[in-house]
Structure 1
Amino acid sequence: MATTLAAGERETGQSLDVVDTADLENAAELALTAFCWWRADLPREVCEAYWRDVHGIMFARVPGLWQYRQLRLAANRPDLFPTVQTISFDAPDVAQPHGMPHALFLSEADLAVFGGNPLAQETIPNDAHNFIGRIGALLSPPSGVGRTLVDRINDPAMQGSPPVPTFVLCFVPRTGAASVEAFHRYLTEHIARPWSGHPDVMRVRVEPLPPYDLSAMRSPGVPHQWPNDETYLGWIELAVRTEGVLGDLLAGTAADELAEQVMAVHTYPVREVYTIISAGRPTEVGLRGCPAVQTIIAAGASNQRSEAVLNLLFGDAVRGLDRLRRQT
């Protein structure tokens, strides 16, 4: 599905507001990252459609979320980087996640509002087993929340295939190399920040993660243990003009220092991104589901995208869950 809005514009019914994606994302104090593996007994396309159009739109009815995106991942690409001694770029098939939900909260109070809602307490967790075979979720606290260092794409409500090659790079720390805080500083200041200055880099977000113990999301009937011992201590979302830029970026990183800190880097291409909530407001995909939005666009039914019609259909959710939160 193509993006329904031009880059840098956010849905507001019949009008469009020009926004800055990095500023919107950096307003958040907490981040939730989940790594998901789909059920092996269901076709991949069924799991992904259910995730977006059934499971995902439930999040759009829960107050407290500032942003909620679903990133569909392709298989690890070890071929994109030059060889660095002692660093592995390979990942076993069983350990490679299929999808990654990423949620942002403006404050701990918003997280509490979200977590106290019946949908978030019971309905969403109890629904996960319908398509997820395994999940590992991590909550980054205010002291370690990620940052969007640059975003030249500037599309806060992206729907479908990214306009340029986009990757999620997941980092496994070297055992005993440094403290968690030191590793996070290295990931941000020595990798992500220098990369953000490259002229062919379109987007960089760095997300430090706490050590994985038990999933931060309770999902009855879904195993929470990691598939292997190589758990991630951080990830970088990287969008570039061409795939070849990745090799240039790593070549410009001090190899000795990288090898001291990092044991493995797994690089997952982002096939599609679906934004369910942006700036505290459900997107059209979050309200209706993607197939309905695609059909409306194909038919040219602009009246179905108006504030008046959406308000009649969806009530307070259309005006923004951030506003709904303040009213309760």
Structure 2
Amino acid sequence: MSRPLKTTSFMSPVWFRADLPRESAVGYWAGPHARIAGRLPNMAEYVQRHFSPTDHGYWPSSPTVGTTVPAHWRCDGVAEVRFGSTAAALAMPMHMREVYLDEQNLFERVLGQVTGPGGGRWWTDGHDDAVGHRTVLRRRRGVRGRTFRAYVHDRIGPALHEAGARDLRTYTFLPWSRFVHPTLGVGHDNPTFRRYHGSVVVGADSRAAVEELLKSEQVAGIVADQHTVLTAAHAYTVERSVPVVRP
């Protein structure tokens, strides 16, 4: 792909209920809940990213940029949705009632976030469910949104692409609103100092290949000045990707 494909997307970090065994929540998310969500119209792609409960916080560190994922703010995965058009994204809420009602069966907190029109970039062709990596980014206060978006899409994306990522998507989000995904019976608390403003999804041949990407000269270049744009870069290993809807 010579140029990244612009997408309108929805990313929803999720926390499993603390009173359920993890394996039960994982199974329900990939099974019954996926079948309910998979019936929704207007989605060009929907993939569940299940995070490792132990392998996280390994993005290269630099002064004043937090890379350790706080134990009490470690999410269990993310639902990644790509829409065929902005109109399709705007029409989605009217179809979500069954999904909203089902989320209380497995989730404790859901933080739906949207990119806005063309706010995502898909850098690679095809669909790759190899070993994955996801880093969520927190914009430094005082840095303009336009500067942050340029850093994510014009610096981080090209660097990882040039370094050899097999699958690569970059996203920047609209300002947080709990009404984007108003699940009933599920928490939406998202304090200002914990909010994320962007995300990078990377696929590689193996966990070792992810490490090689992060040690590359291209990544070293963006890490050198990430403190000018970011206050946090929290990395998670994607233990399993579950493709619910594919083009």
Q: Give TM-score, length-normalised by structure 2.
A: 0.88
Specify which of 221, 224, 229 is matched with residue 252 of structure 1: 221
Structure 2 equivalent of residue 133 of structure 1 = 108
CA shift for structure 1 position 211: 2.5
Structure 1 equivalent of residue 123 of structure 2 = 149
Q: Distance in 1 between matches of 2:81 and 2:72?
A: 25
1:1-328 aligned at under 5 Å gives the runs 26=5, 28=7, 30-74=8-52, 75=54, 77-79=56-58, 81=60, 83-117=61-95, 120=96, 122-143=97-118, 145-151=119-125, 154-155=126-127, 162-163=129-130, 165-176=131-142, 178-198=143-163, 200-226=164-190, 229-241=193-205, 242=209, 243-248=211-216, 249-253=218-222, 255=224, 257-279=225-247
Greater radius of gyration (CA) = 1
RMSD: 2.3
CA shift for structure 1 position 48: 1.1
Q: Distance in 1 between matches of 2:149 and 2:141?
A: 14
Q: Count the aligned residue pairs.
A: 241
Q: Distance in 1 between matches of 2:167 and 2:86?
A: 27
* SS of the residue 2:183 aligns to: coil
* SS of the residue 1:253 aligns to: helix
CA shift for structure 1 position 65: 1.2
Instruction: Give the structure with the higher percent strand.
Output: 2
* SS of the residue 2:180 aligns to: coil
Residues 244/227 of structure 1: CA separation in 2 closer, same or farther (3 Å cut): farther
Moved over 4 A (4+): none
Q: Distance in 2 between matches of 1:136 and 1:191?
A: 24
* SS of the residue 1:66 aligns to: strand
Q: 1:65, 1:277 within 8 Å by CA — same for their partners in 2?
A: yes
* SS of the residue 2:194 aligns to: coil
Q: Distance in 2 between matches of 1:35 and 1:169?
A: 12
Could you give the per-residue CA deviations for residues 175-223 of structure 1, whole angstroms, max 9, x where no partner exists?
21x111220111111111122112x321221011122232511111101
Identity of aligned residues (%): 21
Q: Give TM-score, length-normalised by structure 1.
A: 0.68
* SS of the residue 2:39 aligns to: coil
Q: 1:94, 1:227 within 8 Å by CA — same for their partners in 2?
A: no
Could you give the per-residue CA deviations for residues 227-281 of structure 1, whole angstroms, max 9, x where no partner exists?
67221110101123412321224323261x31111111100001100111111xx
Q: Distance in 2 between matches of 1:128 and 1:235?
A: 23
Q: Distance in 1 between matches of 2:12 and 2:116?
A: 15
Q: Distance in 2 between matches of 1:245 and 1:43?
A: 34
Residues 254/43 of structure 1: CA separation in 2 closer, same or farther (3 Å cut): closer
Q: Distance in 1 between matches of 2:90 and 2:64?
A: 42
Tell me which of the two structures has the higher relative contact order, counting C-alpha pairs closer than 8 angstroms and 6 or more residues apart. Answer: 2
Q: Distance in 1 between matches of 2:85 and 2:197?
A: 22
* SS of the residue 1:150 aligns to: coil
In the alignment, residue 251 of structure 1 is paired with which amino acid? A
Unaligned regions of 5+ residues in structure 2, if any? none
Q: Distance in 2 between matches of 1:218 and 1:49?
A: 23
CA shift for structure 1 position 61: 1.6
Q: 1:37, 1:97 within 8 Å by CA — same for their partners in 2?
A: yes
